[in-house]
């Protein structure tokens, strides 16, 4: 079963006077990862490189940021894949120490920085979420909200039109039971929606 990280974990290596400052952390998608990398440049404006690797939402990324091709981002990504992680970003900020490490030395340094950080990281099972939406009469809105709360679902959108539209997310492992309960309690008055209607602006 795929795992992710409970929280961010850091590790720093010093190799031939170069500093390799690694952070591994849970990350939802590439846009969020890019925003974090941009913040690292603001935090470390004099760094030589900020290299990163991402596995999230079916996407992967490996960025060498000026290091010789294949010596930074790709080795970092392979560490994440080897440990069967998902929804994880690894970043390494490098301060150059004046001594070149060569391609092999760089691969080892970036690999070790991520691997050592992951040794200290708490890994947790990855819960895949499912987004569901339906419409129902106004009189049933309170009942459905209670059902969602009891099931541990997270309400995402509500729109009041001729009917009430609700959208929520819930772990996939719990969705079938919730759908069955809603169908039973709804007595045929629940309409499941494949997509959130364009006309249903959130309240």
DSSP letter at 85 equals B
Q: Under CATH, which number does the domain 129-192 receive? A: 3.30.70.240
Q: Which pLDDT does position 48 carry in this prediction?
A: 97
Domain boundaries, the chain: 3-125, 129-192
pLDDT classification of 59: cutoffs 50, 70, 90:
confident
Alpha-carbon span 69 to 156, nearest angstrom? 42
Choose between 28 and 113: higher pLDDT: 113
Q: Under CATH, which number does the domain 3-125 receive? A: 3.30.230.30
Of the given ranges (88-102, 121-135, 139-153), which has the lowest mean pLDDT? 121-135
Q: What is the DSSP string of 107-118?
A: HHHHHHHHHHHH
DSSP letter at 62 equals E
pLDDT classification of 159: cutoffs 50, 70, 90:
very high
């Amino acid at each position: 079963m795929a795992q992710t990280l409970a929280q961010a974990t850091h590790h720093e290596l010093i190799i031939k006077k170069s500093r390799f400052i690694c952070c591994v952390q849970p990350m939802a998608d590439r846009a969020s990862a890019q925003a974090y990398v941009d913040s690292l440049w603001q935090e470390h404006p004099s760094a030589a490189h900020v290299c990163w690797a991402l596995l999230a939402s079916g996407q992967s990324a490996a960025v060498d940021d000026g290091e010789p091709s294949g010596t930074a981002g790709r080795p970092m990504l392979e560490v994440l894949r080897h440990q069967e992680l998902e929804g994880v970003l690894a970043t390494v900020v490098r301060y150059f120490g004046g001594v070149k490490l060569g391609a092999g030395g760089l691969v080892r340094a970036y690999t070790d920085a991520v691997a050592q950080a992951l040794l200290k990281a708490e890994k947790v099972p990855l819960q895949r979420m499912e987004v569901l939406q339906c419409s129902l009469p106004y009189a049933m809105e309170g009942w459905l909200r209670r059902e969602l709360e009891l099931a541990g679902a997270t309400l995402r959108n509500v729109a009041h039109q001729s009917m009430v539209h609700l959208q929520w997310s819930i772990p996939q492992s719990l969705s079938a039971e919730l759908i069955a309960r809603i169908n039973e309690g709804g007595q045929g008055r629940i309409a499941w929606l494949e997509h959130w209607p364009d006309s249903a602006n959130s309240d």
